[in-house]
Amino acid sequence: MTTILGNLDMKRKYSVFLGNVGPCSDRYCAAYAAPLGIEALFERAASIDLLGGVDLVATPGLLGDVALVKRCLASTGLKVVSVAVDHFTQARWGKGSFSSIDPALRRAAVDATRETMDLAVELGCSLVTIWPGQDGYDYIFQADYLRERGWFAAGVKEACQHNPAVKVTLEYKLKEPRTHCYVNTVGTAILLVKEVDEANCGVVLDYGHALLGHENPAESVALLHRYGKLLSHVHINDNYRSWDDDMIVGSVHSLEYLEFFHWLRRTGYDGWMTIDQFPYREDGRDAVAESAAWLDALEDVLDRADPSEIDRVLQLKDGVAASKLARKLLLNR
């Protein structure tokens, strides 16, 4: 398919979290490489031909330099695909945002979302991501699950009502940084969106989070479609299934991506795929370029296939037929 996207005539709609082309930290090492400024990050992202957009995180640093962000967007021609509320990098959110036991923090979580929604609009984007990684708990006997979930849903609802023209999309993840996150699986994410009950509330499926949660990402796409066409955004990366390793797309899994892309197409997903990875020891730009190259190559495999032939196999419910299809797609054998 060919779509005209801003200044780029792209076959694919691939984006990246801006920070991913730069250095990153883990809990042991504060910096595996020297930090880069906003301009340098934009230039690095723009140097990857397959990318047409960037996703931003509304950190204090970014919020303090919106004019620069606009200049970088103009000079690179990159589009803002989504802006994520920063509910996770600041110590104040350590014990939760929308579900905090402190009413002032719950208020602040809503306000930060509204502010991010306004910023998104200002940057020409109608998609805001909420990743409530700090909303959850670590210990047994540490939480009143009922009242905290109530606060969480109420806060998201209030934020959604701020501007119905902005899609507010919730990213689920089993765990990390909490050992237990409230919005943890595709099932609880759907339940929450139904409870929020606002038309502009949807779900981000992060491919790696789905694997971490012992989901088959293709099936999760089907579930989001079945329960109200709730899929609003896709994050993509790879991991070994037991942790959110945030690795280069395609570096571990192969067939799961093909089935995932087939179901995205089959259910009519026409949004972006945003590369979301942590290249601790690699050059960020090069690692992101790798992900984009894998994405394109894996989608090419599907482009060459006949989707109705795939659907026919899905309906046989036959492991051997599934295996034959997979081998033909991947190895042409």
SS3 210: helix
Pick one of 2, 28, 64, 165: the residue that binds a second copy (CB under 8 A): 28
Pick one of 74, 104, 165, 242: the residue that binds a second copy (CB under 8 A): 242
Pick one of 38, 213, 232, 273: the residue that binds a second copy (CB under 8 A): 213
What residues have CB less than 8 Å from 10, skipping those under 6 apart? 3, 50, 52
Pick one of 137, 151, 152, 207: the residue that binds a second copy (CB under 8 A): 137
Q: Toward a second copy, which CB reaches closer, 2 or 317?
A: 317
Query: What x/- string results for residues 77 through 106 when contact with a second copy is judged by CB under 8 A?
Result: -----------xxxx-xxxx---xx-----
Does the protein bind a second copy through residue 305 (CB under 8 A)? no
Please report how close the Cβ of residue 39 comes to a second copy at its closest, in angstroms.
22
Pick one of 71, 107, 241, 265: the residue that binds a second copy (CB under 8 A): 241
CA distance 312 to 308: 6
Closest to 12 (Cα-Cα) out of 68, 52, 54, 57: 52
Rounded (10°) CA dihedral 262, 267, 271, 276: -50
Does the protein bind a second copy through residue 226 (CB under 8 A)? yes
- Is there a contact between 195 and 160 (Cβ–Cβ < 8 Å)? no
Please report how close the Cβ of residue 290 comes to a second copy at its closest, in angstroms.
5
CA angle 153, 157, 159 (to 5 degrees): 120
Contact region with a second copy (CB under 8 A), list: 40-48, 69-77, 202-210, 253-261? 253-261
Pick one of 142, 164, 197, 307: the residue that binds a second copy (CB under 8 A): 142
253 phi, psi to nearest 5 deg: -95, 160
Beta bridge partners of 169: 129, 202
SS3 90: coil
Pick one of 65, 180, 198, 265: the residue that binds a second copy (CB under 8 A): 180
Query: What x/- string results for residues 145 through 174 when contact with a second copy is judged by CB under 8 A?
Result: xxxxx------------------------x
Buried b (16+ CB within 10 A) or exposed e, 40-49: ebbbbbbebe
